Amino acid sequence: MELWQELLRKSVETAEDFAEVFGVDKDLMRKIIERYPARINPYYLSLIRYKGDPIWLQCFPDIEELADEDMPEDPLDEDAMSPVPSITHRYPDRVLFLVTSQCSMYCRFCTRKRKVGDSSKISMKFIQDGIEYIRNHPEVRDVILSGGDPLMLTDYMLEKIIKALREIPHVEIIRIGTKMPCVLPQRITENLCNMLKKYHPIYVNTHFNHPWEITPESKRACEMLADAGIPVGNQTVLLRGVNDDPYVMQEL
């Protein structure tokens, strides 16, 4: 078992875990987590400096999440553009390909909370159906792997998917949307980078929202990807109490 997998096994994710680690009300945590799964791995947990800080706000379950139940479950209207369960085809020449429902840390602001953490929403059959859909649509030149977090898959499983995509002549670009360099940088290993290098051009879009997330570990993870010839982009979500401040964003 690799280090990142060992860390995952030690995550805070049940109501009992949250009550033990944080001293919060177990029944309240259970009420939230039953609706929206939670997971904070030990690395990301170590970045919390105090209750309610910018790291805490991103990962800690909040009762206010249940107040959103009357809001649209699918705010980006992805399911309406989903010809098969694992594919969102919004733009003519590119698709979003969901390859896992799992994340190493469940962001409380996720727009895909209806799916993440639920393994029944993304299965091996759905992945194969996604590959077949892409193969049968020659207008698709750009594939974005997402989920959940694609890097929750093992190197072996991830390579099977990427290899299959690379064998489709009209697929030019493969992008991986992953939060791992930020929330569990131990996942970025030499073996992973060596595998990805075989299938260029590969791009990685990662997801840092606050300067405290930039640590020696996350810096090393991004450098390893860049040194493997992978352009690394960042998408930042504007979040109240986290980065809705020009000086914080400037530092980030």
Residue range 26-47: mean pLDDT, rounded: 96
Same domain as 134, residue 51: no
Binding site feature residues = 103, 107, 110
Same domain as 221, residue 201: yes
Angle (CA) 131-137-141 rounded to 5° is 85
Q: What is the pLDDT of residues 19-32, one digit of tens each?
A: 999 999 999 999 99
What percentage of the chain carries pLDDT values higher than 70?
99
Same domain as 62, residue 85: no
Give the pTM: 0.94
Question: Among 43, 67, 91, where does a domain finish?
Answer: 67
Domain count along the chain: 2
Same domain as 116, residue 12: no
CA distances (Å), origin 15, targets 26, 27, 150, 160, 215? 5, 7, 26, 35, 29
Same domain as 22, residue 109: no
Same domain as 164, residue 107: yes
CA distances (Å), origin 176, targets 70, 142, 179, 200, 205? 32, 11, 10, 12, 6
Report yes or no: 107 and 58 within 8 Å, Cβ to Cβ: yes
Residue 72 included in any domain: no
Please name the residue ranges forming H helices in 80-215: 124-135, 155-166, 180-183, 190-197
Same domain as 83, residue 34: no
Q: What is the pLDDT of residues 131-184, one digit of tens each?
A: 999 999 999 999 999 999 999 999 999 999 999 999 999 999 999 999 999 999
Same domain as 111, residue 179: yes
- Residue 117 pLDDT level (bands cut at 50, 70, 90): confident
Give the integer Cα–Cα distance in Å for 144 and 208.
18
Question: Among 38, 67, 96, where does a domain finish?
Answer: 67
Tell me, what DSSP letter sits at residue 49?
-
Please name the residue ranges forming H helices in the chain: 3-9, 15-22, 26-35, 42-45, 54-59, 124-135, 155-166, 180-183, 190-197, 216-227, 246-251
- Residue 119 pLDDT level (bands cut at 50, 70, 90): confident
**What is the sign of the dihedral through the CA atoms of 54, 147, 188 and 40?**
positive
Report yes or no: 225 and 188 within 8 Å, Cβ to Cβ: yes
Binding site feature residues for [4Fe-4S] cluster = 103, 107, 110
Mapped onto helix, strand or coil, the DSSP state of residue 130 is: helix
The domain in which residue 39 lies consists of: 3-67
Report yes or no: 146 and 96 within 8 Å, Cβ to Cβ: yes
Same domain as 212, residue 143: yes
**What is the sign of the dihedral through the CA atoms of 151, 153, 159 and 165?**
negative
